[in-house]
Structure 1
């Protein structure tokens, strides 16, 4: 698998589509804090998005989406001057899979949902994302446009298996959003996601993910990038924000944390599979990154935190 697929698999990404929101006239709806990632796709009309702590509202029009990655309360509205109502008060007004409000709907239609991520490791993705991701129309053939159109059809004419279809479409929207993030010219952004836009760094990160237990050195990683060791180390740190060996160690520890939680492998077996010659050296690295010993981590997850 490639790096992005690896990370999403490790985080046990699950998508949930909560249904449509249909409105007309002047309206505003406020949503509270949340875990994971929220998304909305505008199927018809337009709305304003205001996120707590963000300086400017954002206009989102038909065929566009937005994703929220920091758990902040937010409001969507047809008119910024409208008095918002809490989303929870609208839930009883469900009709044909949509929450219909304000003059019976018809002018605005969106579909919303959220993505959950594995506890304890969600920051691997959330920390590299901005609070708000606005996904606009792409030039030429558009994956986003196709996904939104399919969502519209699923709402218009529900079919057997529609829940699974909606989840898969939502996952496609998220992946496309992440692709656009690292390919969209955010030159100031730092993190593994944005480093994937550089072909040489992508080759190195993919190699680390494919064989995390290999006896990697700075020299062998530089060879993957076809660069000198010094140039590679500087470029990797500039794009990722960590040295190559620090990134490798952190990725190994994320894998170790998942295995401690979801497998019956011993600490020694996990350490050996991830390139450590002894349980002692693996445990020391794990404690440095995860802030507790492997045995304590596994016990903590088993006991629910």
Structure 2
């Protein structure tokens, strides 16, 4: 992993809300756990279903990513945001005294690693703060709440971390190349015409999303849309629509909806049809999946 190329060209996108339908379905909760200097070696172990969002406010440090036998080292010498959306072991090396100043939070994404946002992001995003327009105001409020103990300060800091995350996700959609995003939902949302089709699918998972209908939303021919969609998302339109439908199903099941109600709400012919599709994708029936979660 390397620092984002700040000289890459920007991607122009229309002024449409591509994130709200996703974030309303799959929420994320941030929890502040550190504010202040970190000295020496700080280790953040990979925890299933948990991400991290660190803000290097001042100082210089070195980031270590250990993936199998490979270790990547990245020196950081300016205020930087570090987003780890999934379980990734990472380490910070700071001076033994007078270490760099950080504000850090854990991120719990609804659905863990199956969360569509998590699936669509790289393991790590390392982004100089100056790159994100408008981030300064939210960070000023976040630092003010994290640095003091006042009524509701921790709760407010958690919410401000979530605001910062949304601003980062906006930036990633607008700059997929610079964020090193691989084919997936984020890459699709960064393409203006494809985004229209994706937003329609996200807003109405119960609909019968044929290739023709999705291409109409994008304003493209079926062949051009199918090729562009597969290139951007890594999936066929039909596979993506079904995967989104089943992602929404897991969210509804976690919320306590009965299996039969989920099946009907998402446009399946009946509960057995839903259960078969769910098993093919998740390796277990909806009821078995719920039992495993409870266990």
- Global fold match (TM > 0.5): yes
Structure 2: tracts of 5 or more residues without a match: 1-15
The 3 A distance-change label for structure 1 pair 119 and 223 is: closer
CA contact (8 A) 2:215 2:221 kept: yes
Instruction: Return the offset for 1:170.
Output: 1.0
Hey, what's the Cα distance between the residues in 1 that align with 2:146 and 2:130?
23
The 3 A distance-change label for structure 1 pair 159 and 142 is: farther
The 3 A distance-change label for structure 1 pair 295 and 146 is: same
CA contact (8 A) 2:53 2:106 kept: yes
Q: SS of the counterpart of 1:56?
A: strand
Look up the match of 2:60. 46
Any idea what the Cα deviations from partners look like across 1:261-299, whole Å, max 9, x if unmatched?
A: 3234342x3222212223333232222222222333334
Look up the match of 2:36. 21
CA contact (8 A) 1:257 1:297 kept: no
User: How many residues end up aligned between the 2 structures?
Assistant: 275
Look up the match of 1:90. none
Look up the match of 2:170. 179
The 3 A distance-change label for structure 1 pair 210 and 31 is: closer
Look up the match of 1:78. 94
Any idea what the Cα deviations from partners look like across 1:104-159, whole Å, max 9, x if unmatched?
A: x4x631111110123565453333222221122345x8332223322332244433
Hey, what's the Cα distance between the residues in 2 that align with 1:266 and 1:56?
45
List 4+ stretches of structure 1 deviating above 4 A. none
After TM superposition, list the pairs within 5 Å mapping 1:165-176 onto structure 2.
Answer: 165-176=156-167
The 3 A distance-change label for structure 1 pair 172 and 234 is: same
The 3 A distance-change label for structure 1 pair 73 and 121 is: closer
After TM superposition, list the pairs within 5 Å mapping 1:60-99 onto structure 2.
Answer: 60-78=76-94
> For 1:58, which of 57, 74, 86 is the aligned residue?
74
The 3 A distance-change label for structure 1 pair 185 and 214 is: closer
Instruction: Return the offset for 1:239.
Output: 0.5
Look up the match of 2:44. 31
After TM superposition, list the pairs within 5 Å mapping 1:95-114 onto structure 2.
Answer: 103=97, 105=98, 108-114=100-106
User: With structure 1 as the length reference, what TM-score do the two structures score?
Assistant: 0.80
CA contact (8 A) 1:43 1:152 kept: no
1:294 aligns with 2:286: yes
CA contact (8 A) 1:237 1:244 kept: yes
Any idea what the Cα deviations from partners look like across 1:156-175, whole Å, max 9, x if unmatched?
A: 44332111221112112222
Aligned residues: CA RMSD: 2.6
Hey, what's the Cα distance between the residues in 2 that align with 1:152 and 1:120?
27
User: With structure 2 as the length reference, what TM-score do the two structures score?
Assistant: 0.82
Look up the match of 1:260. 253
